[in-house]
């Protein structure tokens, strides 16, 4: 079995604990690699290395253009390694190779985009209301950034954070999910080949309550950039307040996918299916609430159930597979628990609702694509994030009711609107409480377009030019002339 090492100060490193834990393949349920069980002492070493690289070390010695060029070089190295890293991610999180390889092939774009931004970070000259002074601002990097990521898209979510953080001039310590650490440990080795100085990028693996918490508490970490569950985000935000850390939080969702009767219903059907069943529902932007206008409700549900029932489950490496396994045993148990919760709240099970037992599912953690009908906002299945292949179908009469239902959750990450009425598209996108609204499409993301949550779905924005702001602070300089 492959045994990995962490990466601290430019060197592969075992953990101070001398312990490893196993990471398993969700398709087989079998462990395939050993990951170092990091400790607070390892965090201290990694933060120390990142701090030295940042303060008086090699990173600030480089010009912003030189830092940008390193990011461009990294993009080239990453492009070469994309397929190999995608295979590792599939082995760790069970998502389809087709999806992971497309995701990782697109990933160099983040390093090119933010590499290009590195030398365009500028201060300003301030026109004062006082005579005898010259006042200008400098944009300065925050310092050491801790990047804490979940298991569903390990390297993509890491890139969203690390590319702007490095472009801003920060140094980083990566802490991947304990369920999917392998690709991050491979990725971090690429920085050396791209020419990054030692200590600029470090990786410590282990459990959230140990390594994650130690990063959040560490005095020399200036910023926590986190993606994960809202409950973890809340804990991190509270703990980070003790040392006044900057915090960026990308959390969960319960996103509405709203189909009006005037929509192209074939497109809407495909959007509804991929919105929830892509990645086995394990995406923060899953369109887990399908809102259907009454006049098309029954026919749409019939087609939806028929189509979802044909989804091919099986080996995620097989290009013919459409739905892979659930990534972790706790997640599998969570999905299972919501079946009873939904039923006892009065939702009507229309499809699935149980573990998949087809021979092509082998010994993996597979769950059947599941659809509940007659769901109302008061039910837990309409309010809580399942993070699995479970769709709640709800009915509405008109725009006002669609908006009321769509916004009646504590989350606000994404929303889909399917309509052929351009006026309605504008009205809905204005009034939906979500960080991203997709009209006649779903799940599109780009390094150039801001991404983040309203309400309990998070704080701050990733992607787009403004993402770099999360890693900068402003100094105002007064000169007595």
Q: Which of 38, 108, 208, 388 binds ligand NAD (CB under 6 A)?
A: 208
Q: Are 478 and 135 in contact (CB under 8 A)?
A: yes
Question: Binding of ligand NAD at residue 151 (CB under 6 A)?
Answer: yes
Residue 203 or 269: which CB sits closer to ligand NAD? 203
User: Which among 2-10, 58-66, 142-150, 162-170 is the span making contact with ligand NAD, rule CB under 6 A?
Assistant: 142-150
* Rounded distance between C-alpha atoms, residue 427 and residue 17, angstroms: 56
Q: Using CA atoms, how far apart are residues 281 and 35, in angstroms rounded to an integer?
A: 26
Q: Does 436 bind ligand NAD (CB under 6 A)?
A: no
Nearer to ligand NAD, 252 or 314 (CB): 252
Helix axes 64-93, 97-106, angle to 10 degrees: 180
Binding to ligand NAD in span 249-308, by CB under 6 A: 250-253, 284
Using rule CB under 6 A, residue 388 touches ligand NAD: no
Listing DSSP states for 219-280 in one string gives TTEEEEEEES-HHHHHHHHHHHHTTT-EEEEE-----EEEE-TTS-HHHHHHHHHHHHHGGG
Site for ligand NAD in 297-356 (CB under 6 A): none
Q: Is 247 in the site for ligand NAD (CB under 6 A)?
A: no
Residue 19 CB coordination number (10 Å): 14
Query: For ligand NAD, which residue of 52, 235, 303, 334 counts as binding (CB under 6 A)?
Result: 235
Site for ligand NAD contains 387 (CB under 6 A)? yes
Binding track over 95-134 against ligand NAD, x by CB under 6 A:
----------------------------------------
Q: Which two tokens stand for residue 426?
A: 């504008």
Please report, for residues 71, 185, 189, 210, 347, the alpha-carbon distance to residue 11 in angstroms, rounded to integers and kept in the order given: 20, 12, 9, 22, 54
Residue 250 annotated among the catalytic residues of the structure: yes
Query: Could you say which of 118, 148, 167, 339 contacts ligand NAD (CB under 6 A)?
Result: 148
Q: Which stretch binds ligand NAD (CB under 6 A): 33-41, 210-218, 307-315, 373-381?
A: 210-218
Written as six digits, the tokens of 270 are 């495909």
**122 and 468 Cβ atoms separated by less than 8 Å:** no
Determine whether 304 is exposed, middle or buried from the number of CB atoms within 10 Å of its CB (0-12, 13-18, 19+). Answer: buried
The CA distance from 147 to 203, in Å, is 9
Q: Give, as ranges, the residues between 2 and 61 that touch ligand NAD (CB under 6 A).
A: none
Active-site pick, 99, 250, 399, 462: 250
- H or E element at residue 185: helix 182-187
Least Cβ distance, residue 364 to ligand NAD (angstroms)? 18
> Which residues would be at the binding site for ligand NAD (CB under 6 A)?
148-152, 157, 175, 177-178, 207-209, 212-213, 216, 227-229, 232, 235-236, 250-253, 284, 385, 387, 413, 453, 458
List, by residue number, the catalytic residues. Answer: 250
């Amino acid at each position: 079995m492959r045994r990995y090492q962490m990466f601290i100060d430019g060197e592969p490193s075992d953990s101070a604990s001398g312990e490893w834990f196993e990471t398993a393949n969700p398709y087989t349920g079998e462990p395939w690699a050993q990951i170092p069980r990091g400790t607070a002492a390892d965090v201290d070493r990694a933060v120390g290395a990142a701090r030295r690289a940042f303060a008086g070390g090699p990173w600030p010695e480089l010009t912003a253009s030189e830092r940008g060029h390193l990011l461009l070089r990294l993009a080239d190295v990453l492009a070469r390694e994309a397929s190999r890293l995608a295979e590792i991610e599939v082995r760790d999180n069970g998502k389809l190779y087709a999806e992971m390889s497309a995701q990782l092939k697109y990933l160099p774009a983040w390093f090119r985009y933010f590499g290009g931004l590195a030398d365009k970070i500028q201060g300003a000259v301030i026109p004062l209301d006082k005579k005898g002074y010259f006042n200008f601002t400098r944009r300065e990097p925050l310092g050491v950034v801790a990047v804490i990521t979940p298991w569903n898209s390990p390297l993509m979510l890491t890139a969203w954070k690390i590319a702007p953080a490095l472009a801003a001039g920060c140094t980083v310590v990566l802490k991947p999910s304990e369920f999917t650490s392998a690709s991050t440990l491979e990725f971090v080795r690429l920085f050396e080949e791209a020419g990054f100085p030692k200590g600029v990028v470090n990786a410590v693996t282990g459990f959230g309550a140990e390594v994650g918490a130690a990063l959040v508490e560490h005095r020399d970490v200036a910023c926590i950039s986190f993606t994960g569950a809202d409950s973890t985000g809340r804990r991190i935000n509270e703990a980070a307040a003790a040392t006044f850390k900057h915090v960026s939080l990308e959390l969960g969702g319960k996103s509405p996918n709203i189909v009006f009767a005037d929509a192209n219903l074939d497109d809407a059907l495909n959007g509804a299916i991929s919105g929830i069943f892509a990645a086995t529902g394990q995406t923060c932007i899953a369109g887990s609430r399908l809102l259907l206008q009454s006049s098309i409700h029954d026919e749409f549900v019939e087609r939806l159930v028929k189509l979802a029932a044909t989804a091919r489950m099986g080996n995620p490496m097989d290009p013919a597979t459409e739905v892979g396994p659930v990534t972790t045993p706790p997640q599998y148990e969570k999905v299972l628990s919501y079946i009873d919760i939904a039923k006892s709240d009065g939702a009507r099970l229309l499809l699935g609702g149980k573990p998949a037992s087809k021979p092509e599912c082998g010994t993996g953690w597979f769950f059947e694509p599941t659809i509940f009908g007659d769901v109302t906002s008061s039910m837990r299945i309409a309010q809580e994030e399942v993070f699995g292949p479970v769709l709640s179908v709800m009915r509405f009469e008109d725009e006002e009711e669609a908006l009321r239902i769509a916004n009646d959750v504590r989350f606000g990450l994404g929303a889909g609107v399917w309509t052929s009425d351009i006026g309605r598209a504008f009205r809905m996108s204005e009034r939906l409480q979500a960080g991203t609204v997709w009209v006649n499409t779903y799940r599109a993301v780009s390094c150039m377009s801001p991404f983040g949550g309203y309400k309990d779905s998070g704080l701050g924005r990733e992607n787009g030019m403004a993402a770099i702001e999360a890693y900068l602070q402003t100094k105002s300089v007064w000169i007595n002339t």
